[in-house]
Amino acid sequence: MPEPKDLAAIKEVQRKVRQGEYGRQRKEFGRKYREILEKSYEEIRADALRYTASIGESIQCGKGCAHCCEHFVSVTVSQAVVIADYLYASENAMAVFLRNYGKWLKSIEENPQAVIIFSSLEEDTTLSAEVRTSPQELLHAYSTFAVPCPFLDKTRCAIYAVRPLCCAAYFAVTPPEFCRADVSSPPLVLEVKPSEKNLRALVQLADPRLSLHQESLPKLVYKLLTAGLPEVSRELDTLFALPKQTGAGNPKP
């Protein structure tokens, strides 16, 4: 569980993000973002079904299978804001994340090899101020540590309704057990990307920095919950080498 000071910070940040005009703007931003997310999810699944049918295969992913929930996942700040707001609205999802976050972080920090791999993956996101593709060998190496995503509630995703697009984009056509990290036979996994139209629509909703910069999903959401979007935006000012604005208050999502 988080430290008492972190829990107090989460409550204070939650109070602030719901206030006044900023609270209204953020609520509207989340509504529009989720509408585009839902369109993207539907589009991805329809494309996957069409393709698998064309090659005589079927999607094997289903409820109870969570092997892919042990991978490194990064998200944009924009999507992390939507996930944080989803946690505010779902007491159960918030409880799952706060209960698991410390265990997830400890599992990485107590494994020297995992620290090296995770740090290398973070350098491709958090420290770059640009979107770069993480090397596949690093992503595979991280998955072998079998550290469950802190949003995982047993075998169910607690934020499924607002899950990252990368999580929605992958489908396996081989049996679920092939996806285990300790299995020698590699699974056949398909990646279906959302349309450029929907991706462009997501980017246009927010400050470009919030749509282009990515960080580790659990760390970024925890940072937003405990520090708030203004603090994260100030970090981005430094990463993107932008002049610091005075009296900016809450940045517009």
**106 pLDDT exceeds 90?**
yes
Between 4 and 141, the higher pLDDT residue: 141
Between 242 and 16, the higher pLDDT residue: 16
**248 pLDDT exceeds 70?**
no
**51 pLDDT exceeds 50?**
yes
Q: Following DSSP, what letter does each residue of 105-173 receive, concatenated?
A: HHHHHT-HHHHHHHHHHHHTTTTTSS--PPPHHHHHHHHTT----TTEETTEETTGGG--HHHHTEEE-
Is the pTM for the entire model greater than 0.75? Answer: yes
Identify the bridge partners of residue 170 per DSSP, sorted by sequence position: 191
**1 pLDDT exceeds 50?**
yes
Give the least confident one: 38-52, 75-89, 225-239: 225-239
- State pLDDT tens for residues 59-82: 888 888 888 899 999 999 999 999
Confidence at 126, pLDDT banded by 50, 70, 90: low
- State pLDDT tens for residues 173-203: 888 888 876 777 778 888 888 899 999 999 8
**252 pLDDT exceeds 60?**
yes
Virtual torsion, Cα 18, 23, 27, 32, nearest 10 deg: -160
Give the least confident one: 20-29, 171-180, 242-251: 242-251
pLDDT of res. 66: 86
pLDDT of res. 247: 39
**41 pLDDT exceeds 80?**
yes
